[in-house]
Structures are given as C-alpha cells and as structure tokens.
Amino acid sequence: MTPISKVDFGQSEQAPLGGSVALVTGGNRGIGRAIALRLAAMGSAVAICGRDEKALRTVEQELKAMNVAVHAQVADVTSPADVASLVDKTEATLGPISILVNNAGIGVFGPTHEKSEADWDRTLNTNLKSVFLMSKAVAPSMIHQGRGDIINISSLAGKNAFAGGGIYCASKWGVQGLTACMAEDLREYGIRVAVICPGSVATEFSGRGPKDPAKALTPDDVAHAVAMLVTQGKQSFLSEVHVRPLRK
C-alpha cells in the first residue's frame, strides 16, 4: 500500500497560506471576523470590508497584531462601484486575490405576504447580488493566475423551508444555485467555487430569535470549514459543506 503523503501547499505547515491574499466580505464582525482571523493565522494577507467603520477598524487592528499584511475598507457590496473600488484597492495594496469569501449577509424574517418590496430588495441584494458582483470582480484575476478559491457562505436555510423564511430562504437558495453554476464555469481555469451551509450560529446576526449557545455553532466552526476548503489537495474539489450543531 502506498503511504499517504502530506499535501504540498508550497508553504510551511505553520503558514500553509503564506503568499495568499484573501478578501472576506462582512469581515468586521461575527462569522466574517472569525474567518479573517483564521486565514491570517494560516499566513494569508487579508482584506476585509463592512459598512460599520468602527467595527471594521477594531478587526483591522486584531489582524495587524498577527503580523500579516492587511487592508480594511468601508464598502457596500451591493454597489458595483464600491465592489470595483474594494477589489482594485485590495490588489494594489496586497496583490492578486487568491481567496474570496462572500460572507456578507442579512436576515429578514416573517410571513412573506407581510414583507415589503424594500425587504425583498435589501435581502436579495445583500445575500445574493453581492455574491455575483464580488465573484465577477475577482474572477478575471483568478483566471489569469490559473487558480483561486471562491467560498460562499450560505445557510441550511438554503436547503430547507420554514415558516417566516420566504425572503431569506429565497436569497440563500439562490446562492446555492449560483455557486453550483459558477463552479462549473470556473473549474477549467483551476478555480474552485464552494458553498458552506451553516446551521444556527451564535452571533449578533439578525436571525429568528435568541439562540441557545449549547445548541448552536460558533463563528470559529464556520471558519474551520473555510480553512478546510482552502487547504484541500490541489486535485480535489469540495463543492458543498454542511455544518450543523452537534446538539439539537
């Protein structure tokens, strides 16, 4: 039997992502913050964006304390102009983006017939349109590099229906479909596109109500899944990861 060898990332075990540049949307709090810190701990330069400048600067300082190159920028990822500026400034500061984590998202819940058109537009633009805009913006550079990882943070709500989830589920089901098609469009260029579907996560995210921490994931659980995806073997392709709390 041939012995299993270590995967060669071209970097040390202590910094498997050394030389990489990661951009995490919504990286100023919750799941996005945990992902940014995990990627930095793995040696990647990290760019984060968000709309809350105070929170953004706090995470920026946390990242800088880890001795990695950092870019933090206030940006609205539903705006094509903001997206273009974010990608251009990230690459000018840190270099070509090799990892994109589309994490920015909001939750709007309640009976669909009681929601407004503004609720629909705000949720679909933030949770779905932003994934399209960000991915479209980084794809040309990744194609030029011949490699890259695009990871979209969806939800198990993108797989399951529940009362009061109409608009939110529609946005996350859209992320599932967009991810699957992008994966087929980009795999021939050496670019892996994957989706992570977490269950209930204990964060300040505007969800359906308070979460029992003993029966919820932590942001670090989702960050662990991202770390797994970006360090998989060069010939492999994990397309969809479900992360569930251990206890119901």
Separation CA 192–CA 186 (nearest Å): 7
Q: State the number of CA atoms in the 13 A half-sphere of 63 facing the CB.
A: 34
Helical H segments across the chain, by residue range = 30-41, 53-64, 80-94, 117-124, 130-145, 166-186, 219-230
C-alpha dihedral sign at 49, 55, 59, 65: positive
Q: Is 242 helix (H, G, I), strand (E, B) or coil?
A: strand
Q: Which helix (H) or strand (E) holds 49?
A: strand 45-50
User: Is-contact 127 173, C-beta < 8 A?
Assistant: no
Separation CA 36–CA 21 (nearest Å): 11
Q: Is 228 helix (H, G, I), strand (E, B) or coil?
A: helix
Residue 189 among the catalytic residues: no
Helix, strand, coil tally for the chain in percent (to 5): 45, 15, 40
Of 9, 109, 168, 173, the active-site residue reads 168
The angle that helices 130-145 and 166-186 make with each other, rounded to 10 degrees, is 10
The catalytic site residues sit at 168
